[in-house]
């Protein structure tokens, strides 16, 4: 039998996985980065991302369902903004890890030909 604490922990893991699944699209990350400096309309985001408005709207819906965006209506325009700025920090942290991995793999590939050359001299 699972304890209440264990079940709560499992539920948090499930929720975290669902959150990550919702974030798993490059356009959604690009939208968040675009909103980093303030609110924007769907039209503004569509122009910035060079993406059809309908497609941007779909991504905005997912981000809203994840609880990452809020809306503000002004006449016929709807403006989107980030609810919690920590999501930008999280995206930057993940990107930094990826960039570091790429940098290290690039260094390995740059060293590999030299290592092969040295090995052939032995």
User: What are the φ/ψ torsions at residue 85 (nearest 5 degrees)?
Assistant: -60, -15
Residue 41, burial from CB neighbour count under 10 angstroms (0-12, 13-18, 19+): middle
pLDDT digits (tens, 9 = 90+) for 87-102: 999 999 999 999 999 9
User: What are the φ/ψ torsions at residue 66 (nearest 5 degrees)?
Assistant: -75, -10
Task: Answer yes or no: is pLDDT of 61 > 70.
Answer: yes
pLDDT digits (tens, 9 = 90+) for 103-116: 888 877 776 566 55
pLDDT digits (tens, 9 = 90+) for 15-28: 999 999 999 999 99
Q: Class of 1-84 per CATH?
A: mainly alpha
Task: Answer yes or no: is pLDDT of 35 > 70.
Answer: yes
User: Which residues neighbour 63 within 8 Å (Cβ) at sequence distance 6 or greater?
Assistant: 22, 28, 31, 32, 69, 80
- List the domain boundaries for the chain: 1-84, 85-122
Residue 120 pLDDT: 58
Whole-prediction pTM: 0.80
What Rg, from alpha-carbon coordinates, does the chain have? 21
The closest of 71, 67, 68, 65 to 40, measured between CA atoms, is 71
């Amino acid at each position: 039998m699972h304890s209440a604490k264990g079940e709560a922990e499992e539920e948090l893991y499930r929720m975290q996985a669902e959150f990550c699944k919702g974030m798993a699209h490059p356009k959604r990350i690009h939208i968040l980065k675009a909103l980093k400096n303030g609110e924007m309309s769907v039209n503004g985001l569509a122009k910035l991302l060079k993406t059809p408005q309908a497609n941007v709207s779909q991504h905005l819906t997912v981000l809203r369902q994840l609880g990452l965006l809020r809306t503000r209506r002004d006449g016929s325009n709807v403006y989107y903004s980030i609810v919690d700025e920590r999501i930008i920090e999280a995206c930057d942290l993940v990107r930094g890890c990826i960039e570091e991995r790429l940098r290290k793999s690039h260094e390995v590939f740059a060293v590999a030909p030299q290592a092969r050359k040295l090995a052939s001299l032995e």
